[in-house]
Chain A
Amino acid sequence: MSQLTNPFIQPDGTKPSCMQMLQIILDEEATPEQKEFFAGHMDKCMPCFKTYEVDMTIKEMLRIKCRGDQVSHDLVEQLKNQIKQKIAI
């Protein structure tokens, strides 16, 4: 395991907590370096590993169950036609 400098450390030297690092990962705002560092960090931090697994599962479930993919083709076409009629294009 390479000993990386923590890329989550802010310019003013503030070191982020586990929770703050995890949130950056979950919110998909992490840089490739931060992702790599966090992957290594989870090997040494069981609470982070457990929370990450649960949070990522929730995120995946949200994507599968709650995204617009479930909206029917008919409804989409109906909406498009109504809108186009109203603006006459």
Chain B
Amino acid sequence: MEEALRQHYPEKEKNEIFNNEFLPHIRSMYNFGYRLTLDQDDAKDLVQDTYLKAYRFIESFQKGTNAKAWLFRILKNSFINDYRKKSKEPSKVDYQEVETYYNSEDVDRQITPDLRVEALKDMIGDEISNALNALDVDFRTVIILCDLEGFKYEEMAKILDIPIGTVRSRLHRARQLLKEKLSEYAKQMGYKNT
């Protein structure tokens, strides 16, 4: 459908869009790239590649629409197609299991790590960043999109090419796993978890 909305921008306007609508997101883009690859050079390559693609395909972008979501989508696809294939690390997540679990009644009876706010406030080092980085990349991604970048379900579904229900269940499971990780840190810091 969006193919039909191809724009024809004069060169000057193309550059204006690029400078005013795309480039302001570069910090978030780099952070996303870094959180996906966990490598600064790979993140730089991903960001450059994303912006080059965005410029090349600028005519499929409609001025004034959600540039940030579009750029995130390009970066995510570049990561999957160009980077993830090379890194020999296929997703280890059994999504069927996640979905079934989320939609079952067990979801409210789960054992939530008894993590306390005081323990979290004592984590002044890299604990939260390490806990996030330790998540499987697909869980990490939804936390980044929702909690760091503030994307809505609908935007995340478009960026990730998955249904909204899957976004919701993946986020739920990601939060749970993040809490488990932080709970381990709290234990190491001497907080009793049970």
Q: Report which A residues bind B (CB closer than 8 A).
A: 17-19, 23, 26-29, 51, 53-55, 57-59, 61-63, 65-71, 75-76, 79-80, 82-83, 86-87, 89
Contact = CB atoms under 8 A, between A and B. Distances in A.
A19 to B, nearest CB: 5
B112 interface: yes
Contacts, number: 99
Interface stretch (B75-83, B84-92, B93-101, B170-178): B170-178
A38 to B, nearest CB: 16
B48 A82 contact: yes
A82 B31 CA distance: 17
Given A65-B128, A79-B47, A80-B23, 20 more contacts: A19-B108, A23-B175, A27-B168, A28-B146, A29-B153, A51-B112, A54-B179, A59-B147, A62-B147, A63-B147, A67-B148, A68-B29, A68-B30, A68-B31, A68-B148, A71-B31, A82-B48, A83-B51, A86-B52, A89-B19
A23 B167 CA distance: 12
B40 to A, nearest CB: 8
Contact of A89 (B15, B26, B146, B152): B15
B27 A61 contact: no
Given A61-B123, A62-B143, A65-B129, A71 B30 contact: yes
Give the top 3 A-B pairs by smallest Cβ distance, nearest first.
Answer: A68-B31, A68-B27, A61-B128
Given A54-B115, A86-B52, A28 B31 contact: no
Per DSSP, chain B at the interface is: helix
